[in-house]
Amino acid sequence: MSTIKNYFSLVKFSHTIFAMPFAFLGFFMGIFYVQKSTAAFTNGFDVIVSYTKANPFMFLYIIGCMIFARSAAMAFNRYLDREFDSLNPRTAIREIPKGIISPTSALRFTILNSILFVGVAYMINFTCFLLSPIALIVILGYSYTKRFTSLCHIVLGLGLSLAPVGAFIAVTETTDLSIIFLSLAVVGWVSGFDIIYALQDDGFDSSHGLWSIPTALGRKKALLFSRSLHVLTATLIFIAGFQFGFGILYTIGACIFTAMLIYQQSIVKHDDLSKVSIAFMTSNGIASIVFSIFAISDLILFKIN
């Protein structure tokens, strides 16, 4: 059990809370998108029941893809950054620097999860199977970006944005403008809060040749950049809802999500980083879960045709 706990800690499994709700939303949007072009139903529950009977394992496949892809990405990031992590007082307590998990074991864990991800993608459909290597290139490639570009935060956002669009494609084998807008919102959301998180290491990154928005622009301008991304995020969230034809519950969820963005931006100052953890984990976790619950409820309760 301790070994499992160590690997859960290595990949920060609790942070799955950020992207998983958006994957669920993409999944349900896909179901109703398919229903739109087929038979009519009397209520949203019938839509879900009908799809589940025809595809009983799809939901589990999507969860599996999310877990395996994210675990591969996080383990590889820890493997690649092990030397920097050992030098940074904030990260020296991580599993590889402390010797709890060896670099070789972390790399093997990455390979195993990558294989499982591709395997489950194959079980979903051939389209997902063909796209799975591209997804791996993005999520694993992110780990290199901090070495050559300050836009590494955008690449991280792009990686997490694959969750909703990937789940949508799993159901529909196609895309829609609404899911593209939603995924772009995830890019802005994740990039914005990752910039906030990176403020903690701006001094270390600068002295060790690592790139980030805070090291490139300084804390004040980095926060402004983060806020601009979150304004874009909120805008895209509402556009996605309008494009897909969501109703009042989605709008309420989008307003709550926007309020949480405003909250996290308000509690972090360039000269006071004491509340970065609250801004990063608590507010974003709440925002993701609450928004997705409202949006999915809107689909089930109101979006019949």
CA distances, 207 to each of 84, 110, 146, 150 (Å): 11, 29, 13, 15
Per-residue pLDDT, averaged over 30-54, amounts to 82
Per-residue pLDDT, averaged over 72-81, amounts to 97
Would the pLDDT of 210 be above 90? yes
Question: pLDDT of 277-304, one tens digit each?
Answer: 887 788 898 999 999 999 999 999 986 6
* CA 208/CA 115 separation, integer angstroms: 33
Would the pLDDT of 20 be above 60? yes
Query: So what's the pLDDT on residue 15?
Result: 78
What percentage of the chain's residues is helix, strand, coil (to nearest 5)?
Answer: 80, 0, 20
User: Residue 170's CB: how many other CB atoms inside 10 A?
Assistant: 25
Domains of the chain with CATH codes: 2-302 (1.10.357.140)
How far, rounded to the nearest angstrom, does the alpha carbon of residue 238 sit from its chain's CA centroid? 18
Q: Worst-scoring range by mean pLDDT, 28-42, 125-139, 224-238?
A: 28-42
Query: So what's the pLDDT on residue 279?
Result: 77
Question: pLDDT of 138-178, one tens digit each?
Answer: 999 999 999 999 999 999 999 999 999 999 999 999 999 99
Query: So what's the pLDDT on residue 72?
Result: 97
* CA 204/CA 83 separation, integer angstroms: 13
Question: What's at 86, amino acid-wise?
Answer: S
∠ at Cα 142 (276, 170), nearest 5°?
Answer: 100
For the entire predicted model, the pTM comes to 0.95
Alpha helices in 125-151, H assignment, sequence order: 126-145
